[in-house]
Structure 1
Amino acid sequence: MDFQHIIVTPGIKPHIALVQLNRPKELNALCLALMQELVSAIEALDQDEDIRCIVLTGNQRAFAAGADIKEMAGKGSIDMLKVDQFSNWERIKRCKTPIIAAVSGFALGGGCELSMLCDMIVASETAKFGQPEIKIGVMPGAGGTQRLTRAIGKARAMEMVLTGAFISAKEAYAAGLVNKVVPAELYLDAAFELAQSVAAMPPIAAQLAKESVLAAFNTSLDEGLVFERKNFYALFSTEDQKEGMKAFVEKRKPEWQGK
């Protein structure tokens, strides 16, 4: 895969792909071209049976400092409607493969929203999360009012959205937004370590488990339990379920086939 605004490294670790946002001069601002490339890469990796986990990162200075404001500044509401930039976000959301965001530096606006679109977040001690759109006359539009509220609660989310205030990596961890915080020089290694733990699991089970956790945000408890149960039963038709339970009984390590 040949891209201009991202770098894709399939198999950087066994069963793991790395996708790196690569607009360093613009602090990885999420222009339309970058988002289109990102969607193409994520969808291709999602179809690759050898890839069981994806790590998405930027650089030490910035995961992504937001949308590309220069692209939007002169547009009207109908222009934005026609561009339909959020359709790309919906396509990323449909990715079955678990995605881990490795965040260092700024994760602001669309950058914060992109990190929340991932399934887990590993943060550098230097990471700063924020939704500062209010400071340029708008509001979050890619999930900042919804995913952030579900992650850290109404009061904290309301403060961030209405004032544009940032929170540190430690504050994000305390609020439940990120999985772990590590020194800046270790954040990518820590993301790979978590990814390797995910990739070591049976891939179909991991995909259906991810789907079931995400369903909890869109269903009532009773509906979610029905959804979960159907995915649970479905896994009993996989070869990995047979291998996993047989290996447990035989007291040996299972060998997953992804079937």
Structure 2
Amino acid sequence: MDVWPSLREAAARVDDLVAALPAPGARSAAQRAELGTARDAARTLRVRYLDAHAEMLYERLTAGTQGLRLEELVEAAGAGYPSVVPTAAQLESDRGRRQADKEGHEIDQGIFLSAVLRSPSAGPHLLDTMLRPTPRALELLPEFTRTGVLRTRSVLLERRDGAAYLTLCRDDCLNAEDEAQVDDMETAVDLALLDPRVEVGVVRGGEMSHPRYRGRRVFSAGINLKCLEAGDITLTGFLLRRELGYIHKLVRGVLTDRPGSWHSRTVEKPWIAAVDTFAIGGGAQLLLVFDHVLAAADAYVSLPAAREGIVPGAANFRLGRHTGPRISRQVILHGRRIHAAEPDARLVLDEVVEPGAMDAAIAAAVERLRSPAVVANRRMLNTAEESQDEFRRYMSEFALQQALRLYGEDVIAKAGRFAGRSG
């Protein structure tokens, strides 16, 4: 049965209701229920349609291109198939609204991207597209290869003696990530991977100006909850781009069409993480993809997903491989902190040193990972531990579940409370 006519009719019904109703925050319980029922009906048909036609849509949208990145893909889909994916005008109407006052259009983006990623042909193609260097990185590459320095609002990237030192510099918010920092991180990772004089990458938090941690280095406080509450954390610009962009590049490398690349589709390099003070949420997620993780003896890691109400990226996919299933449930479902000094910390941390010895430990780790055989062996380890197909299937489900969580009433309420805290 062709569901397209029914889907168009159901999508139009939702649009008519939204146009007739007051803004989301001013709707009555009965109005919210009526709109919710209409949306459920449209989304049921949308899922059925995409189960059958996601590959066809993807091929049409990407025809004549090398590939479309996430935000380009959903924009093109919204223009070509407005009953399937929200239009640019619908998304623009939500821009500037608090998360609590948005219409939830990103849930429909999640339905679409979940179907694309689930496809055995479209999914790998999208992953490959996201592994390519960003236009911003390609524009900055000549200057970086000349100077060895990149400064942005969020990061400082410095090349010294064959190593790229990427320092997280959001000192005002304890390196809590927002969309600008995700963009800066992907740019910096691209540059480190593309620069032929870089052999090893190091990621470390910079010194903070936050009153509670002034003068101390902090790795990351996770997602910026103030931005989440304000409606500035989006599905494609942050939650999915982060996972499919720079974090996936840390694992797989950057995809290029360089001469002589017949033996390797990507440029890969080993990466070291150095954790001072704490790695919370997204910071802890990052540690799971590094080749060597150092931590100060007084540091801790945590994934407060249950407290915040969202899915902690690909940590559910990767953490159990490091810790086993019981500890991963303790950390993700119950919010357990793992302190560097406790025995279980060695399941996620490779080396624990006194705070004053961190610089020397980083230097020693860089020297160990310079070996020419390291890249080939890390490639084989990653192939064995995290296949592209397994990652793609996880991200397919993540695209939908995280979109739903983004609009959960509990998430919106918790984000408002946490965002109101000064420290």
Q: Does 1:209 pair with 2:358?
A: no
1:100 aligns with 2:280: no
Deviation readout 1:21-78 (Å, 9 max, x if unpaired): 001221111111112111111111111222111111003442001011222235599x
The alignment yields a C-alpha RMSD, in angstroms, of 2.1
Give yes or no for the alignment of 1:36 onto 2:186.
no
Which amino acid in structure 2 is aligned with residue 45 of structure 1? A
User: In the alignment, residue 195 of structure 2 is paired with which amino acid?
Assistant: D
Closer/same/farther in 2, CA of residues 146 and 171 from structure 1, 3 Å limit: farther
Amino acid at match of 2:364: E
1:9 equivalenced with 2:158 (yes/no): yes
- Percent sequence identity over aligned pairs: 24
Q: Confirm whether residue 147 of structure 1 aligns to residue 147 of structure 2.
A: no
TM-score computed with the length of structure 1 as normaliser: 0.75
In the TM superposition, residue 117 of structure 1 has moved relative to its aligned partner by: 2.2
TM-score of the superposition, structure 2-length normalised? 0.47
Counterpart in the other structure of 1:66: 222
Determine the structure 1 residue equivalent to 2:291: 119
Count of aligned pairs between the two proteins:
212
Superimposed CA distance per residue, residues 138-187 of structure 1 (whole angstroms, 9 cap, x where no aligned partner)? 2312x221221111111111001111121101236654211110001222
Which ranges in structure 2 are unaligned for 5 or more consecutive residues? 1-149, 207-215, 254-267, 388-423
Whether the 8 Å CA contact 1:126–1:184 is kept in 2: the answer is yes
* Alignment partners' CA distance in 2, 1:218 and 1:56: 22
Instruction: Identify the match of residue 184 of structure 1 among 345, 349, 355.
Output: 355
Structure 1 SS opposite 2:272: strand
The amino acid that maps onto 1:63 is F
* Unaligned runs of at least 5 residues, structure 1: 220-259
Supply the distance in 2 between the matched residues of 1:82 and 1:175 (Cα, whole angstroms).
Answer: 33
After the TM superposition, which parts of structure 1 deviate over 6 Å for at least 4 consecutive aligned residues?
A: none
Which has the larger displacement, 96-105 or 1-10?
1-10
- How far the C-alpha of 1:119 sits from its partner, in A, is 1.6
Pick closer, same or farther for the CA change 1:68–1:76 going to 2, 3 Å.
Answer: closer
Match of 2:235 in 1: 80
Q: Does 1:53 align with 2:200?
A: yes
Report the structure number with the largest CA radius of gyration.
2
One-letter amino acid of the counterpart of residue 186, structure 1: A
Looking at secondary structure, tell me which structure has more strand per residue. Answer: 1
- 8 Å contact from structure 1 (residues 109, 140) kept in 2: yes
Confirm or deny: 8 A CA contact 1:28 1:65 kept in the other structure. Answer: yes
